[in-house]
Structure 1
Amino acid sequence: MLARTKAHEDAGQYAQGLTVLAPVLADAELTAYKPLHAEALLRRGSLEMNTGDANAAHADLEQAARVAITAGHDTVAAQSLSRDLFVRAALLHAAAAALEDAGMAQAMVERVPGEQPLRAEFLNNLGVAQIDAGKYAQALESLSASLAIKQDALGEDHPEVAYTLANIGYLKMAEYRYEEAAATSERALTLTQRSLGPTHPTAGVIEYTLGSALRKSGKPSLARQRLEHALELFAANSTQGGREYVHFDLGFSALALHDPMQAAQHFATAAALTAARGGDKLTEAYLHEAYGDLAQAQGTSPGPAASTVSRWRCAAKPWAPSTSTSRTPACATARCCCARVRPTRPSWSCAPRWRSARRPSPPAAPRSPRTSS
């Protein structure tokens, strides 16, 4: 049953995977067989990470690590700690705290000799955390090492390679290197479509990142095509997390194409989605900026919403990494528009991103985009 659950996860069928896993986890708890219990908790935490349920994922992965360590199941302990690193940094916005505890995950990975893919996943997730902490040079080193290991151990066409490529694209976005981000994201997308299929949820997250990079590099028409297709994939896969950010980018693309009416529709949808999930200060600041730009395009008064942009950005400061004193509010806002791949796929941070953990969300995703393996 665990193998069947993983098959659902690999196929992007996260809800089905959770359904299949439920009786396995119940049996493991009843029998008190710790190795099985740890594996089931790891599997559930990974599925929750991919659906964007950050709090549940963190709780399960943390418990999986504890149970695995008690049972002497080093591989599960290492993978649980590695994926929890991604969840805490990318989904719970606690990169600095996650990096403080990264040494434990690294120590557990080193206890499992010969597991190169496991080491690659840890390095991918470490790189995502370093991006969110503003440590871009260290992130590039970690992600490059992860990519090299994956290519050597798994082959050039493995989806794990796409996840880390997507996260490198996310890093280039954070550094304002939008054309390079677009090229890297397109490479990751092509590989994802070839290895996982053109309709896989990860393909949608990476295509969103590509569209965002194209918009920021001054190609709004191409960006709109990519973003609209990404939105279609989100709908086809019932992907909820991160949809507001796709609408934000579509709105800004519409403004660049002198279509304020369409921009207004996308910004209204983004506002409704943000309100439905409870919102956060950083996204609300982005929303105020969007309406300010829309008012300017329409030649009307920005009104109170736009006038409070700077105040919202100041309020959003706690979302920025504690070490990023040089990070400007504009940079903090920009990270909302790109997805990283999860530890093993895309996941969304402020939106999605990729873990090496299988996610890109958002700002989840690729796992390994804002992605973990």
Structure 2
Amino acid sequence: MRQRTSAFEPAEAALTEAYFAAQKLGDAELLADAALAVLSVICEVHKDPRDAEPWARHAEAAIAAAGKNPRSSAALHKALGTIAMRSGDYVRARREAEQGLELSVAALGDDHLEVADFSNNLANVAFFEGRYEDAIELHLRALEIRRDQLGAHHPNVGDSYNNLGAANHDLGRYQEAALDHHQSLAISQAAFGRMSHDVAASHNNLGGVYHRLGDPEQAIAHYREALEIWAEVLEPDHPDVAYAHHNLGNVLHDQGRDDEAAAAYERALAIRERALGPDHPHVAYTLTNLAVVDEAAGRRPRAREEFERAIAMLEPVLGAEHADIATIRDNLGLVLRRQGELDAAVAMHRSALRIHLAKLGAEHPQTATTEYGLGRALRAQHDREAIVHLQRACDGTPASESELVEERRSVLAAAEAELGA
């Protein structure tokens, strides 16, 4: 999506007219092609995935009537996978991408651009499921095919760099992620100019990287640039606008500007609930971050309710062993500790740590944060095991986050003095 939604309206109208003309002619293959074309445009530009469902049914019926051509069937799987991703149904999205990939490889060969597209889509599913290494492998496959077939500066190559950067970011490889997103930004700016959706997406992702690298001013600058562009090229309640507000809230919270952070999260939450529905996973993520701000402001009963609601929303979609579920449990453990429910807090932190070690590894910054939470809960119980976890937290905290390193070392020193080194 590289321009305002309204720019696609004439194309959608013309393709819809072509579909009904093909229907009158009784040409099944032409009807299938027209239905897929309309569906493709709707999937590209409509914020509500439900808008595409009727056309998915039209396309499915037309393809069946035309004899299930493998390429048409693959195109349908691609569209259905897009609908499923936007609906937060990652199980269905994975199934559609796998079936489409199998059809495309059989019909077109290993190095066709359709194979790259399905590899990219399957990687996006793996990313949301927390299988980041799988996501990187699939994105690299898509990148290699696109670069060979389209050239190093094609926008689709930029998309691959953007997606690869997101996976590296979630694995804690922030320098690699920054390089990926800068590469994507350069390609998109050269292709489309400043005012494009792709450029805004790269700025948004760079904001996340600089946030993690401990450069909040750069992060805020990139987020504000993304919001300024998206305000021009997207509708005001588009989910991507919510994404930038959500991320801006993250940086503002880390700077202690919690009133501004809460306002950003509330804007993101309102957009996501309108555009995606109240039970969508992205709603749960914003709810989680709003809960973090509420906890910091001392609104612990409200924060606890928000964390518990987010877990209830995400577990059916992601599974109980997902790294994101573990992070929310870790945050809930903090609330429980501060409410004096120490046994429950320790149990929550241990559960989160077990998952983070399995999914992210001992060296990941999020694992260090979970070690820290468990260490503080154990210290509150006067348990010397706290020192082990606090030391691991200090060792695993990135040196670039100097204030966090200092805070954690101070807590470790106090625990050693209190409990005995």
Q: Which of the five TM-score ranges fits, normalised by the shorter chain?
A: 0.7 to 0.9
C-alpha separation between the residues in 2 aligned to 1:314 and 1:154? Answer: 44
Contact 2:329 2:348 in 1 (8 A): yes
Shift of 1:166: 1.8
Q: Work out which structure has the larger RCO, using CA pairs closer than 8 Å and 6 or more positions apart in sequence.
A: 1
**What is aligned with 1:203?**
241
Please give the alpha-carbon distance, in whole angstroms, between the structure 2 residues aligned to 1:68 and 1:14. 24
Contact 1:205/1:230 (<8 A) preserved: yes
1:53 match: 89
Change (3 A) 1:264 1:38: closer
Task: Give the equivalent residue in structure 2 for 1:367.
Answer: none
TM-score (norm 2): 0.69
Question: What is the aligned partner in structure 2 of residue 18 from structure 1?
Answer: 53
Q: Which amino acid aligns with 2:96?
A: D
Deviation of the 1:34 alpha carbon = 2.4
Give 2:102's aligned residue.
66
Amino acid aligned to 1:97: D
Q: How far does residue 39 in structure 1 lie from its aligned partner after superposition?
A: 1.9
Is 1:270 aligned with 2:306? no
Give the C-alpha shift of residue 103 in structure 1: 4.3
Secondary structure (helix, strand or coil) at the match of 1:316 reads helix
Q: Secondary structure at the match of 1:218?
A: coil
Question: 3-state SS of the aligned residue for 1:156?
Answer: coil
In 1, are the aligned partners of 2:71 and 2:104 still within 8 Å (CA)? yes
Structure 2 gaps of 5+ residues are 1-34, 373-421
Aligned to 2:218: 180
User: TM (normalized to structure 1)?
Assistant: 0.77
Which of 141, 146, 150 is 1:104 aligned to? 141
Would you identify which runs of 4 or more consecutive aligned residues in structure 1 move more than 6 Å?
none
Report the counterpart of residue 6 of structure 2 in structure 1: none
- CA deviations 1:130-183 (Å, max 9, x no partner) are 223333222222211111111111221111222222222232344344443333
Superposed, 1:1-373 pairs within 5 Å as: 1-9=35-43, 10-29=45-64, 31-72=67-108, 74-88=112-126, 90-113=127-150, 116-239=154-277, 240-274=280-314, 277=317, 279-280=320-321, 282-294=323-335, 300-318=339-357, 320-321=359-360, 325-330=363-368
Count of residues in correspondence between the two structures? 330
Instruction: State the alpha-carbon separation in 1 of the partners of residues 84 and 194 from structure 2.
Output: 28
- 1:188/1:226 CA distance change after superposition, 3 Å: same
Q: Which stretches in structure 1 are left out of the alignment for 5+ residues?
A: 335-373
Q: How big is the shift at 1:70? A: 3.3
Q: Percent identity?
A: 21
CA contact (8 A) 2:158 2:183 kept: yes
Q: 1:333 to 1:272 in 2, by over 3 A?
A: farther
Residues 238-261 of structure 1: per-residue CA shift (max 9 Å, x gap): 341132332222222223334445
Larger radius of gyration: 2
**CA separation of 1:292 and 1:107: change in aligned 2, threshold 3 A:** closer
Report the Cα offset of residue 330 of structure 1: 4.2
The CA distance in 2 between the partners of 1:275 and 1:139, in whole Å, is 28
- SS state at 1:308 partner: helix
Larger mean CA deviation between 222-231 and 126-135 belongs to 126-135
Change (3 A) 1:311 1:259: closer
Q: Distance in 1 between matches of 2:294 and 2:140?
A: 45
